[in-house]
Structure 1
Amino acid sequence: MNIVEVANLKIWDSRNGNVIVPNSSFQVKKGSCLAVVGESGSGKSITCRAIMRLNQPAIRQSGQILFDGVDLSKLTEKDMRKKRGKQLCMILQHGMRAFDPSCVVGVHLRETLAWHFGWSRHQITEKMKRAMEGVMLKDPLTVMNQYPHQLSGGMLQRIMIALAIVMEPDIIIADEPTTALDTISQFEVVEQFIQLRENMGCSMIFVSHDLGIVKKIADEVLVMKEGEIVERGTTSAIFTGAQHEYTRYLVSSKLGMNQHFKRIMGGSGVAEG
C-alpha cells in the first residue's frame, strides 16, 4: 500500500522554459522511509516542494501526485494548507527559514497548532513541552521564549521534529535536515528521526546527499541526476549492487567521506553499516 504516488511529474521554470525535472514517477510505501539522493542541483528538493506545492510561483508543475488516493494537484490552496503540517509535514534544511525571525519560536508553534487543532494555549504548551523533552531539548519553556537567531541549527531542527511529534502527520518530508549542522548535531538529529519513525510509524521522504545517513535511516533509495531518476531500489541493493555508474560513484565517494563519523562516535556513527 502506497501513501504517496507520483506519476509523470514535470517541473519547469516558466520564466525561461528551463525544464528542471522532465518526467519523474515513484511511490512511497506506508510506514517506510524513501531516501532521495543525488548531488546539489539534481532535483531532489524541488521534487519534494512540488509534493507539498511549495515551489515559487514561477516554478510550474504537471503530472499526478496522489496522497492517500487524493490528487494534491487538484486541491485548492485552502484545502492544501489544511493538509500541510497535519498530514504532510516538511522539515527544512535550514531551521531558521521555518520560523518568523521577528517572533519567539513559541508564537509559531502556538499559531500552527491552534490553526490545525484549535487547542488552547495551555494544551499547546504542555504538548510541546513533552515533545521537546522527548527530543532532548532542555528547559523547553525557556526555548519557546527565545528568538530563532538565539538558537543553534541543531536546536531549531529538534523543535521542528518536536512539532512533528505533536502533529502526528502521515508522512514527513525531511529536506537535507542535517546539512547545516555540525557533526555531533547531525548524529543526534538523525537519531531523533529514527526514534520518530519507531514511535510514530509514519512514512518518510528523506532528502540527503549524505549516504552514511541514508544507509542508517532509509528502507528504499531513489537516485536523481540532473532532474532524472537514474536508479531505485532497496537500501541494501543500492549499497551492495548499484547498477548505474553514477550511483556507484556516489556510493564509493560519499561513503568514504563519512568515515569520520565512525572515528568521532567511537565506531557507532551514522556511517556504520
Structure 2
Amino acid sequence: MNILEVGNLNIVDVKAGKEIVCNSSFNLKQGSCLAIVGESGSGKSVTCRAIMRLNKPWLRQSGNIVFKGENLNDLTEKEMKMKRGKNICMILQNGMSAFDPSCVIGVHLKETLVQHFGWSHNQIEEKMINTMESVMLKNPKEIMNKYPHQLSGGMLQRIMISLALVLEPDIIIADEPTTALDTISQFEVVEEFIKLRERICCSMIFVSHDLGVVRKIADDVLVMKEGKIVERGNIQTIFSEAQHEYTKYLVSTKEVLSNNFKKVMGRSYLAES
C-alpha cells in the first residue's frame, strides 16, 4: 500500500525560465524507506520541499502529490500547515536553519507541540526530556535553554529526531541530514534514523549523495539527474544490476572511495604496528 503518490510533478523556476524537475512520478510504500540520490542540483531537495509545499514562490509546481488519498496541492496554506510536522515531518540538511536563531531551542519545541497537540509546558518538557535522552542527548533541560548556535550540528540533528519521536508523523523526509556532520556524527545520526523508523513505524524519504548511507537505511532508490528520474529499483538491484550509466557511475565511485578508505586505514594500522 502506498502512503504517498507523486504523479507528473513539474517544478519551474519562473524567474529563470528554467525547468528544475521534469515529469517526476514515484510512490512511497507504507513503512518503507525510499532514498533519492543524485549529485547537487539534480532536483532531490526541491522535490522534497515540493511535497511539503515549502519551495520559494517563484518555483511553480504542478502535478499531483497524494498523501493518504488527499492531494496536498489542493489544500489551503492553513490546512497544509497542520500537515507539516504532525503528518509529514521534514528534517533539514543544516540543523541551524531549522531553528529560529533568536530563540532558545525549547521555545521552538514548545511552539511546535502546542500547535499540534495543545499540551502544557510541563507535558512538553517531560516528553522532550524522555525522547532527547533516548537519542543520547545529555542534560536535555540544559540543551533546551541554549540557542542553536551554541550547539553542534550533530546535536541539532538529534534534537530534530527527538521532536519527530514525539510528533510520530506518518512520513519523515530527511534531506541530506548527515552532510554537514563529521564522520563519527554521521554514523551516529544514521543509527538514530534507523531506530526512529523502528520505534514509530513511519515511512521515510531519505535524500543523500552518500550511497554508503543509502545502502544502510533504504529499501528502494530513485536516481535523479538534471531534474529527471533516470533509474529506480530496490536497494539490491541498484547496487548490483544498475542499468543507467549515471547510476553505474555513482555506484562505482562509491566503491572506489570505499576501497581507498580501506587501503588508507590498512596502511595506518600497519604503520602503528
Q: Same fold (TM over 0.5)?
A: yes
The equivalent of 1:269 in structure 2 is none
Say whether residues 1:76 and 2:90 are aligned partners: no
| Contact 1:212–1:255 (CA under 8 A) maintained in structure 2 | no
| Contact 1:131–1:165 (CA under 8 A) maintained in structure 2 | yes
Measure, in 1, the Cα distance between the counterparts of 2:247 and 2:205: 19
The equivalent of 1:256 in structure 2 is 256
Q: Deviations over 1:39-75 (max 9, x none)?
A: 0000000000000000011110000000011000000
The equivalent of 2:147 in structure 1 is 147
Measure, in 1, the Cα distance between the counterparts of 2:85 and 2:154: 20
Q: 1:221 to 1:159 in 2, by over 3 A?
A: same
| Contact 1:220–1:233 (CA under 8 A) maintained in structure 2 | yes
Measure, in 2, the Cα distance between the counterparts of 1:150 and 1:244: 44
Q: Which moved more, 1:8-17 or 1:65-74?
A: 8-17
TM-score by length of 1: 0.95
Task: Quote how far apart the aligned CAs of 1:14 are.
Answer: 1.1
Task: Quote how far apart the aligned CAs of 1:261 are.
Answer: 7.5
Say whether residues 1:104 and 2:104 are aligned partners: yes
TM-score by length of 2: 0.95
Say whether residues 1:231 and 2:239 are aligned partners: no
Q: 2:133 is aligned with what amino acid?
A: E
Q: 1:148 to 1:248 in 2, by over 3 A?
A: same
The equivalent of 2:210 in structure 1 is 210
Q: 1:98 to 1:264 in 2, by over 3 A?
A: farther
Task: Quote how far apart the aligned CAs of 1:16 are.
Answer: 2.3
Unaligned runs of 5+ residues in structure 2 are 267-273
Measure, in 2, the Cα distance between the counterparts of 1:3 and 1:264: 43
Q: 2:53 is aligned with what amino acid?
A: R
Give 4+ residue runs of structure 1 displaced > 4 Å after superposition: 258-266
| Contact 1:183–1:261 (CA under 8 A) maintained in structure 2 | no
Q: Deviations over 1:143-188 (max 9, x none)?
A: 1000000000000000000000000000000000000000000000
Aligned-partner SS, 2:133: helix
Unaligned runs of 5+ residues in structure 1 are 267-273
The equivalent of 2:246 in structure 1 is 246
Q: 1:167 is aligned with what amino acid?
A: L
Q: 2:38 is aligned with what amino acid?
A: G
Q: Percent identity?
A: 71
Measure, in 2, the Cα distance between the counterparts of 1:128 and 1:86: 15
Task: Quote how far apart the aligned CAs of 1:254 are.
Answer: 2.3
Residue correspondence of structure 1 range 1-273 to structure 2 within 5 A:
1-258=1-258
Measure, in 2, the Cα distance between the counterparts of 1:171 and 1:49: 13
Aligned-partner SS, 2:137: coil
Measure, in 1, the Cα distance between the counterparts of 2:36 and 2:101: 30
Q: 1:54 to 1:29 in 2, by over 3 A?
A: same
Task: Report the RMSD for the aligned CA atoms in angstroms.
Answer: 1.6
Task: Quote how far apart the aligned CAs of 1:255 are.
Answer: 3.6
Measure, in 2, the Cα distance between the counterparts of 1:111 and 1:152: 22
Measure, in 2, the Cα distance between the counterparts of 1:264 and 1:159: 34
Aligned-partner SS, 2:101: coil
Q: 2:92 is aligned with what amino acid?
A: L
Measure, in 1, the Cα distance between the counterparts of 2:259 and 2:114: 44
Task: Quote how far apart the aligned CAs of 1:17 are.
Answer: 1.5
Task: Quote how far apart the aligned CAs of 1:33 are.
Answer: 0.1
Q: 1:261 to 1:200 in 2, by over 3 A?
A: farther
Task: Quote how far apart the aligned CAs of 1:198 are.
Answer: 1.0
Q: 2:212 is aligned with what amino acid?
A: G
Task: Quote how far apart the aligned CAs of 1:260 are.
Answer: 7.5
Q: Deviations over 1:96-122 (max 9, x none)?
A: 000000111000000000011000000
Measure, in 1, the Cα distance between the counterparts of 2:49 and 2:259: 31
Q: 1:141 is aligned with what amino acid?
A: K
Aligned-partner SS, 1:163: helix
Q: 1:255 to 1:165 in 2, by over 3 A?
A: farther
Aligned-partner SS, 1:137: coil
